Amino acid sequence: MIALARKYRPKKFADLIVQEHIAAALRGAVAGGRVAHGYLFAGPRGVGKTTAARILAMALNCERRGAAGGLAGEPCGECDSCTRVWTGAANLDVVELDAASNRGVDDARDLRERAMYAASAEGRHKVYIVDEAHMLTREAWNALLKILEEPPPRVVFVFATTEPQKIAQSAAPILSRLQRFDFRRIGPHAIADRLRQVVTAEGLVADDEALRLIAKSADGGMRDGLSILDQVASFGEGPVTAVRVREVLGLISDDVYGELLRLVSERDPKAVFPLVERLVDAGTIAIRLLDTNPVHAEGLERQRDALAQLVARYVTEPPSSCYCSAGR
């Protein structure tokens, strides 16, 4: 069974969530024959960088691009060439590399030599997708400098990274030879809407509160949201509920935050420690009280300093000494 994050990976530029500015630019470049020889896709994890690179490769080599009245520059997503790229099958014209394990100068020289060969058929492009590009060494970037400045015809390089500042530090001259696109974080509402579509397509049942919690836990990444949904749906039979999401992810319920906020606002430190002790006994890490973003985060922010002091004292001091000092 294929994971949801792979099964519902976008096949067209129009399917990219929140990245309309990038989708429009790449679609227009393909339609107008103005595709650059090198791109740098930068942004947080799980927002569509590698997916956009694959869609670009699909569009460049699609056998029925823009067919059936579709948008110009969009791949069909169904022909043999598109299917092979989307599934990650062996492909002579589209090569994906992980720079974390192919980061040295010898790897860069091998990539440079392979790029000199023509595509497998007339009119096709060779596309090299390099993920985690910030892991490449300075020497590796230097080996690629010349081919990025004067690339062979119909060869496109796409570098994807979560840390573009490292590339700027180690290989600043490379940046002037690439078109840079910055991918945006995906908001929780957009993630929740997409999760709702996936739930419907999969024939699952999930309440809105559960999807909201998953979307917030995804931290701006659509891939993380789909992976969490997959994990929660596999947890057991029945609908996906907020209780199940909290149980699987180890989240603290909003009721606990409300109670904690009430105790702090009433300046009742003695009552806080039994509450924290109960959470610790249940396996909750005390510091998560400060890291998690509950629904009532605005109220907790106003009491954050006092709450931090109370939790820190409980973690570092025996409860008896805390009770004594609190009573003075």
By mean pLDDT, which of 70-74, 107-111, 222-226, 255-259 is the weakest? 255-259
Dihedral over Cα of 23, 58, 196, 300: its sign:
negative
| pLDDT tens-digit map of 164-198 | 999 998 888 899 999 999 999 999 999 999 999 99
Looking at domain 4-182, its CATH architecture is 3-Layer(aba) Sandwich (3.40)
Instruction: Name the pTM for this structure.
Output: 0.81
Give the mean pLDDT of 304-313. 59
Query: What pLDDT, on a 0 to 100 scale, did the predictor assign at position 192?
Result: 95
Bridge partners for 157 per DSSP: 38, 128
Spacing of C-alpha 233 from chain mean position: 20
Q: What residue spans define the domains of the chain?
A: 4-182, 188-249, 254-327
Domain 188-249 belongs to what topology?
Helicase, Ruva Protein; domain 3 (1.10.8)
Q: Grade residue 324 by pLDDT with cuts at 50, 70 and 90.
A: very low
What is the rounded distance in angstroms from the CA atom of residue 184 to the CA atom of residue 182? Answer: 6
The dihedral built from the CA positions of residue 184, 296, 253 and 307, taken in this order, carries a sign that is positive
The region of weakest confidence among 46-50, 120-124, 138-142 is 120-124
Q: What is the pLDDT of residues 14-69, one digit of tens each?
A: 999 999 999 999 999 999 999 999 999 999 999 999 999 999 999 999 988 866 56
Which of 39-43, 149-153, 295-299, 323-327 ranks highest by mean pLDDT? 39-43
Whether 128 contacts 136, CB under 8 Å: no
Residue type, 77: G
